[in-house]
């Protein structure tokens, strides 16, 4: 699965985040033309024709815009597109706009999309646009001239509402990207990147943590059946662990396919023993009737007085996990109870 935070998923155009973060000097240059196209009324169109039909309209718009030589095309909001023609003349872009309108009018007619229409705005700039504020200043001035309005309050309201929606959409897209980057698709858990961020945030912590390094026992057998089956088992084990740990404990899928770590704070040695055994038993009971009865091995290590980060405790917990494997699997071992000379 691929994901690009700067690309619109539907059309493949640069999205709002790309439009906001691109180098404006490079995109706009010193002068040129901007064609703004807005499909309207998009909410009503979704209700009248279906979401799929509207997606097809948007794809048709994109197909036409990207054919224009010299255009950098962005889909900045639901039905809004911006095509930037750096160093091009007004007449050249006017001809392209006229052709675009003719093609889209034919498209709407041939598909019986009688309720769909466009707002077209061609913007001429003769000096560099350095920011989104410059872009919307040009948008406002051009729309005022096009509409020949004496009072610009309604236009200004539209511009500000549009800008507010752009900010909201940016937050939504950033949230999507953030969630995608820090979560594991198979297990549904925060991934190792998320764990490392947590570790960085707890640098020189005020409280000491205990780490449970969990590794599946012989889960590769399920992969030999199919990778889907292997992923299903990992997801189920993740679900069992999520429902077994204490409120406030942090559970992550770690580096390799069947590794997990739990980071627990404010936990005594006796509580750690109880939690490790509860996780082990819960997984064993849940997986007992699977094709291969799956179990887990757990290595446990607490931060020492000398530790100033979690990495050292994780490393010790991993060594304890290897000792649990060596002792026969399906058990937990504390780091302080292993013989390091072996």
List Cα–Cα distances, 61 to 22, 86, 101, 103, 104, in angstroms.
22, 20, 10, 9, 7
pLDDT, residue 2, reads 45
Q: What angle do CA 213, 219, 221 make, to 5 degrees?
A: 160
- Cα separation, 201 vs 286, in Å, equals 34
Q: What is the model's pTM?
A: 0.53
Instruction: Please state the φ and ψ torsions of residue 38, each to the nearest 5 degrees.
Output: -125, 120
Residue with tokens 């396919």: 257
Beta strand 295-302 with 332-334 is: parallel
Three-class DSSP category at 57? helix
Residue with tokens 């998009």: 42
Helix-then-strand count for the chain, H and E? 12, 9
208 near 247, Cβ under 8 Å? no
Closest CA to 75 of 17, 157, 133, 23: 17
Give pLDDT tens digits along the chain (342 positions). 345 678 888 999 998 888 888 888 889 999 999 999 989 888 899 999 999 999 999 999 999 999 998 899 999 888 889 999 999 999 999 999 999 999 999 999 999 999 998 888 899 999 999 888 888 888 888 877 766 554 555 656 666 666 666 666 666 666 555 555 677 888 889 888 888 888 877 655 567 899 999 999 988 888 888 888 889 999 999 999 999 999 989 999 998 778 999 999 889 999 999 999 999 999 999 999 888 889 999 999 998 877 777 888 999 999 999 999 999 999 999 999 886 644
pLDDT, residue 204, reads 53
- Cα separation, 131 vs 174, in Å, equals 20
- Cα separation, 87 vs 77, in Å, equals 25
């Amino acid at each position: 699965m691929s994901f690009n935070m700067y690309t619109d998923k539907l059309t493949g155009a640069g999205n709002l985040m790309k439009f906001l973060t691109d180098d404006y000097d490079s995109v706009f240059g010193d002068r040129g033309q901007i064609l703004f196209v807005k499909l309207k009324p998009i909410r009503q169109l979704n209700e009248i024709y279906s979401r799929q039909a509207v997606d097809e309209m948007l794809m048709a718009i994109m197909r036409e815009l990207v054919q224009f030589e010299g255009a950098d095309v962005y889909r900045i909001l639901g039905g809004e597109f911006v095509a930037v023609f750096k160093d091009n003349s007004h007449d050249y872009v006017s001809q392209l706009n006229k052709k675009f309108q003719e093609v889209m009018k034919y498209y709407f007619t041939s598909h019986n999309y009688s309720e769909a229409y466009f707002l077209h705005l061609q913007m001429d700039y003769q000096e560099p646009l350095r920011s989104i504020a410059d872009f919307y200043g040009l948008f406002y001035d051009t729309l005022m001239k096009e509409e020949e309005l004496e009072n610009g309050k309604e236009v200004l309201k539209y511009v500000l509402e549009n800008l507010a929606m752009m900010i909201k959409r940016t937050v939504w897209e950033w949230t999507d990207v953030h969630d995608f980057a820090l979560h594991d698709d198979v297990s549904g858990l925060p991934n190792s990147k998320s764990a490392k961020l947590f570790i960085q945030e707890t640098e020189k912590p005020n409280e000491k943590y205990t780490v449970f390094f969990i590794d599946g026992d012989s889960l590769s057998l399920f992969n030999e059946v199919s990778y889907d089956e292997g992923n299903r088992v990992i997801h189920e084990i993740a679900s069992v662990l999520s429902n077994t740990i204490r409120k406030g404990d942090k559970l992550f899928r770690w580096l390799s396919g069947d590794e997990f770590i739990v980071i627990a704070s404010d936990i005594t040695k006796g509580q750690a023993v109880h939690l490790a055994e509860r996780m082990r038993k819960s997984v064993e009971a849940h997986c007992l009737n699977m094709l291969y009865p799956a179990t887990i091995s757990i290595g446990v290590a607490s931060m020492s007085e000398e530790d100033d980060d979690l990495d050292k405790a994780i490393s010790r917990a991993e060594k304890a996990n290897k000792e649990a494997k060596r002792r026969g699997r399906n058990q937990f071992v504390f780091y302080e109870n292993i013989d390091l000379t072996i």
